[in-house]
Amino acid sequence: MTAFAINPPETPSIAIEGDKKRFPVRRIFCVGRNYAAHAREMGADPDREPPFIFMKPADAVCDDGGTIPYPPLTNDLHHEIELVIALSKGGSNISEEEALGHVWGYGVGLDMTRRDLQAEAKKKGRPWDWGKGFDHSAICAALRPIVDNGHPESGRIWLNVNDVHRQEGDLGDQIWKPAEIIAFCSRSVRLEPGDLIMTGTPEGVGAVVEGDRLVGGIDGIGEINVTIGNQQA
């Protein structure tokens, strides 16, 4: 047995719908600008260039259904609703034809973004980490295994803030589909069981403030809801 100098941290995890067991999270990969309309609203070219991948730490993940604190160092916290892929099987150089065989299930997630910090990093040509990888920045509703759902190819994806409609799209509008994203990532790093992939957001992203309630969903996958609490000291 390996001896550690300090107690190892607890494994981050996500709830599973209808199950007391939880899904362990190893890494969180995120796809940027995967819907053409969102790419345009962020000032980018929506042509089918190779996927842009960034990451969040595994312990940025948190369950929905409660209140998360407004993060520090920002005055411009944005919501981005996304399809989340959960992997049960790893591998390198996975083919697109075999990619979906590596999927355990799917969920609805929120990629929360400190947009002002991200914009500053973009302007200076620096990494996005501080704008994307903070505490509670990867909110995820309970996952659904594919045995219940199959693999979604289309379906409405939407988000309301305080009952006001903000985001709307369809999974069929994704520039890069789940199988393509999995195959692409596996050519750069070896994917492993427990990896999550957040697949990008449709247009309509915007700021939230303390007290806002976010409710959204993806047809056939589920719904997510969370309240923004007071700012962390």
Digit-coded pLDDT (tens) for 9-44: 999 999 999 999 999 999 999 998 898 765 566 556
Domain 13-231: CATH class, spelled out: alpha beta
Whole-number Å distance between alpha carbons of 181 and 115: 24
Q: How far is CA 8 from the centre of its chain?
A: 25
Lowest mean pLDDT among 41-45, 140-144, 165-169: 41-45
Contact 90, 102 (CB under 8 A): yes
Digit-coded pLDDT (tens) for 56-67: 999 999 999 999
Q: Calculate the CA dihedral of residues 9, 197, 88, 143 and round it to 10 degrees.
A: 80
Residue 213, strand partner residues: 227
Cβ contacts of residue 71 below 8 Å, gap of 6+? 77, 112, 114, 134, 135, 136, 137, 231, 232
Name the average pLDDT for the chain.
Answer: 93
Lowest mean pLDDT among 77-81, 123-127, 158-162: 123-127
Digit-coded pLDDT (tens) for 171-229: 999 999 999 999 999 999 999 999 999 999 999 999 999 999 999 999 999 999 999 99
CA distances from 227 to 41, 56, 103, 140, 185 (A): 25, 21, 29, 13, 32
User: DSSP labels for 188-205?
Assistant: TS-B-TT-EEE----S--
In the chain, domain spans: 13-231
Q: How far is CA 196 from the centre of its chain?
A: 8
